[in-house]
Amino acid sequence: MEPMLSVRNLVKRFGGLVAVNRVSLDVYPGEVVGLVGDNAAGKSTLIKCVSGVYHAEEGEIYFEGRRVSFAAPIEARRAGIETIYQDLALAGNLDVPANIFLGREVKKRYLGGLIRTLDEDHMLRESQTVLNSLEIRFPSLTVPIDKLSGGQRQAVAIARALYWKAKFIIMDEPTNNLGVVEQRKVLELIRRLREQGVPIILISHTLPDVFAVTDRIVVMHRGRKVTEKRTAETNSQEIVQYMVGALDDTRAQLQEA
Amino acid sequence: MAAESSSLAIASARTARQKQLVLIVSRVWAWVFLALLIAFFTASVFSTSGGSVNFLTLRNSQNILMAITPVLLMGLGQTFVIIAAGIDLSVGWVMGLASVISALVIADLVAQGMAETPAIVLGFVIGVIAAAIPGFINGVIIAKLRIPSFIVTLGMSFIARGISLLLSGGNVVIGQPPGVRAFGNESLLYLISGEGGGLYFLQRPNVTGEALQRLDRILPWPVVVTAIVVAIALFVLHKTQFGRHTYAIGGNREAALRAGVPVDRHIIMLYTLSGITCGIAGILHTARFNGGSSIAGDPLMLPSIAAVIIGGVSMFGGHGSVAGTVIGALIIAVLTTGLVMLNVQPFWQFIVVGIVVILAVLIDQARDLIIGRMESQG
């Protein structure tokens, strides 16, 4: 099977610092890949190269078999790569449909398109449908997002990505700052996205969460990918060893060579 | 168990009702306050004048509407700007600039022999454009160079002031044809009350003497123009994508940007619109006072911002409405007119308006506090 996303020998430097050092990574359709590592391991930099925030100096990125080079996040999103950031990027003063449709509002046209008003009913119905498909229920969709819990907001961000036919989702610490029950609900959502065939890269510090939903785990340490394991064939002790630099597959290969 | 859960249900129903009540009170207080103000002034003006002066007359209501038009127009542009988490401090002097330029253009065109009506229309259009330009420049600097709106528009305020004073030589620009004054002072309807009277549409009845005393203007043209701008602002802010994006930028600019909202272009349009509403206020001033004045808008800038705040627009952005600003402007106008009619020294107006501004924000905060407390308990 062809990988949906393929990163080849990517290098990103900030001045003298090599933030991402010749990293390669494949993600296949319907797969959830965990990207873990200590702070400053290069996880966020790597995904920002994929999502068009940064431009890598060396290496290639292939998406759906085609070589891509996104100049801006909006280009990555147009190609179908949706990134859900830690801070969610929702407008807290707007309600759920307004956020799901932000920047892509549905309009009713009058006088041959001369006057265009927001089609609130349509946006509300569509929001309801996409939230139902994720089995998310809110008491009311027409309250400002600020009034919702962290987990509910995360659900809105995920629903937005799904509604706009994201082909590939990157999640940056989606369970951070959430209560236990909410964390479980978000993990549930990730599983449901996977059932719908959407591949996901999950960046997280919380190893139990990573083990709960991923198929594969990629560990980064100081800018390099130090290992890649099937989730079923490893355990958190081993992953922690890689995260702190005690184990390193690339070093072993180097020594063998 | 059953008793416990049912008492819990009752308690939560009670909090829901209380929350509803707090929300309703916080939403309608401004209307109630306005109604109380009108009732208070009606009663007190009546009693202090020994029954000879009535606050609640058609004539007085039209005077109040005329008085608020410039404040409200500037407040409407400001409402959009503040909802998007900015502020426009240049509105007063930009209004003066529009007043001066429109009067100069009209006087010049008429002096060169152009017919009156096209000269007036052209002068007014150029006046509004002249106000849109500083607004546009404000927007470009704020959006592209990321300089705080507070500073950019403060600077623009001085620039507009300088230009309009240079152009007018510090004097009122006179030499207007009669149509200018007519536009500023005639009205849509006329009413002669009492015997032999009636309602007249568009055409001012040709009466003199005692009948002239009984003649009332209903909806003067500046009020009609302002009402049209209010209607457009209501529609744009609450029904269109432009309005939605204005709220989104004020709520979370970064989110709007990532969602693909053309944030920079939108901000430029907001400040340009603010300039345009100031321009309309400026040309209406020229029409009403039959001349262009650079200092026309300066004393109205702070009242216009006060109207926006009383109307519930958050200075942090993201919240507010057009209706709120209309109510805010009405409260200020009723207060000032009422105090004048009570023969209170005019300087008291400022103190009372100041208290209302602070009170309005306190009420908004109290609402959030009470609802927040209810939610953390529930």
Query: Total domain count for chain B?
Result: 1
Helix (H, G, I), strand (E, B) or coil at A63: strand
Residue contact B259–A88, C-beta within 8 A:
no
pLDDT value at residue B268: 98
In a domain, B294, yes or no: yes
In a domain, B6, yes or no: no
A105 min Cα distance to partner chain B (Å): 7
Residue contact A105–B256, C-beta within 8 A:
no
Helix (H, G, I), strand (E, B) or coil at B87: coil
Sign of the alpha-carbon torsion through A24, A27, A31, A34? positive
Residue contact A94–B258, C-beta within 8 A:
no
B313 min Cα distance to partner chain A (Å): 13
Residue contact B261–A102, C-beta within 8 A:
yes
Contact residues, A window 111-170, toward B, CB-based 8 Å cutoff: 116-118
pLDDT value at residue A233: 94
Residue contact B239–A117, C-beta within 8 A:
yes
Kindly state the tokens that stand for A128.
């309801």
> Cα–Cα distance between B79 and B305 in angstroms, integer?
9
Residue B255: which of A90, A104, A117 has the nearest Cβ? A90
In a domain, A238, yes or no: yes
Residue A118: which of B241, B250, B319 has the nearest Cβ? B241
Residue contact B240–A117, C-beta within 8 A:
yes
Sheet holding A168-172, edge to edge: A81-84, A168-172, A200-203, A32-37, A216-221, A224-230
Chain B CB contacts of A98 under 8 Å are 244, 247-248
- Chain A contact probe: residue of B82, B244, B314, B319 with most A CBs at under 10 A: B244
B29 min Cα distance to partner chain A (Å): 21
Chain A CB contacts of B245 under 8 Å are 103
In a domain, A131, yes or no: no
Kindly state the tokens that stand for B159.
């620039």
In a domain, B352, yes or no: yes
Residue B103's CATH number: 1.10.3470
A37 forms beta bridges with: A220
**Strand pairing class (B215-220; A81-84):** unpaired
Contact residues, A window 54-73, toward B, CB-based 8 Å cutoff: 73
State pLDDT tens for residues B53-81: 889 899 899 999 999 999 999 999 999 99
Q: Which residue of B has its CA nearest to A73?
A: B258
- Chain B contact probe: residue of A94, A116, A148 with most B CBs at under 10 A: A94
> Cα–Cα distance between A168 and A51 in angstroms, integer?
10
Contact residues, A window 79-118, toward B, CB-based 8 Å cutoff: 85, 87-94, 98, 102-105, 107, 116-118
pLDDT value at residue B260: 84
E-state strands within chain B = 187-192, 198-201, 215-220
The answer to whether B117 and B88 are in contact (CB under 8 A) is no
| ipTM score for this prediction | 0.85
Residue contact B250–A77, C-beta within 8 A:
no
Helix (H, G, I), strand (E, B) or coil at A232: helix
In a domain, A125, yes or no: no
Q: Which residue of B has its CA nearest to A94?
A: B248
Kindly state the tokens that stand for B94.
């930009």
pLDDT value at residue B302: 94
Low-confidence ranges of chain B (pLDDT < 70): 1-12, 375-378
* Angle, helix B322-341 to helix B58-83, in steps of 10 degrees: 140
**Residue type at B74 in one-letter notation:** M
The residue among B124, B123, B133, B121 whose CA lies nearest residue B163 is: B133
Residue contact A77–B260, C-beta within 8 A:
yes
Residue contact A93–B319, C-beta within 8 A:
yes
Counted residue by residue, chain A has a size of: 257
Q: Which residue of B has its CA nearest to A87?
A: B255
In a domain, A97, yes or no: no
Sign of the alpha-carbon torsion through A181, A183, A187, A192? positive
The residue among B315, B336, B365, B353 whose CA lies nearest residue B66 is: B336
- CB under 8 Å to A50, separation ≥6 — which residues? A5, A7, A61, A76, A81, A170, A201
CA B190-B196-B201 angle, to 5 degrees, is 25
Residue A39's CATH number: 3.40.50.300
**Strand pairing class (B215-220; B187-192):** antiparallel
The answer to whether B80 and B246 are in contact (CB under 8 A) is yes
Kindly state the tokens that stand for A230.
């099937």
Residue contact B254–A94, C-beta within 8 A:
no
Low-confidence ranges of chain A (pLDDT < 50): none
pLDDT value at residue B278: 98
A219 forms beta bridges with: A36, A227
Burial of B271 (0-12, 13-18, 19+ CB in 10 A): buried
B22 min Cα distance to partner chain A (Å): 16
Query: Count of CB atoms within 10 A of residue B57's CB?
Result: 12
Domain that holds residue B236: 19-377
Query: Total domain count for chain A?
Result: 1
> Cα–Cα distance between B289 and B296 in angstroms, integer?
10
Query: Count of CB atoms within 10 A of residue A219's CB?
Result: 28
Domain that holds residue A82: 5-90+165-256
- Chain A contact probe: residue of B252, B266, B364, B367 with most A CBs at under 10 A: B252
In a domain, B254, yes or no: yes
Helix (H, G, I), strand (E, B) or coil at A233: helix
Give A2-17 as a DSSP string.
Answer: --SEEEEEEEEEETTE
Chain A CB contacts of B244 under 8 Å are 94, 98, 102, 105, 118
Q: Give the DSSP H or E segment for B17.
A: helix B2-48
> Cα–Cα distance between B375 and B309 in angstroms, integer?
26
The answer to whether B96 and B297 are in contact (CB under 8 A) is yes
**Residue type at B113 in one-letter notation:** G
Phi, psi of B297 (to 5 degrees): -95, -25
> Cα–Cα distance between B71 and B330 in angstroms, integer?
10
In a domain, B160, yes or no: yes
- CB under 8 Å to A201, separation ≥6 — which residues? A5, A27, A33, A35, A47, A50, A168, A169, A170, A171
Residue contact B240–A118, C-beta within 8 A:
yes
Helix (H, G, I), strand (E, B) or coil at A148: coil
Helix, strand, coil in percent for chain A, rounding step 5 = 35, 25, 35
Query: What distances in angstroms separate CA B370 from CA B21, B22, B365, one per listed residue?
Result: 11, 8, 9
Chain A CB contacts of B256 under 8 Å are 91, 102-103
Counted residue by residue, chain B has a size of: 378
> Cα–Cα distance between B54 and A113 in angstroms, integer?
50
Distance of alpha carbon B244 from the chain centroid: 21
Residue contact B240–A91, C-beta within 8 A:
no
Residue contact A91–B248, C-beta within 8 A:
yes
pLDDT value at residue B1: 45
